[in-house]
Amino acid sequence: MQFIRKMLKNEKGATAIEYGLIAALIAVAAITAMSNIGTKLTNTFNKVSNNLN
């Protein structure tokens, strides 16, 4: 029982979880942004390729 009380009082674990959630949110935002940029870049290259033909 004392172990559980110590774990509840310990804020280091909560801080680590918060940092993990922030890192995950940043990763999702970066993946979304890169995906959108990749799609636009593909469209641009396709247009250039079509104009060269």
Cβ pair 7, 13 in contact under 8 A: yes
Q: Is the pLDDT of residue 8 over 70?
A: no
DSSP annotation string for the chain: -HHHHHHHH--HHHHHHHHHHHHHHHHHHHHHHHHHHHHHHHHHHHHHHHHH-
Residue pLDDT, tens place only, 11-53:
666 677 888 899 999 999 999 999 989 999 999 999 999 999 7
Q: Where exactly are the structural domains of the chain?
A: 1-52
d(C-alpha 14, C-alpha 16), whole Å: 5
At residue 10, the 3 state secondary structure works out as: coil
pTM: 0.57
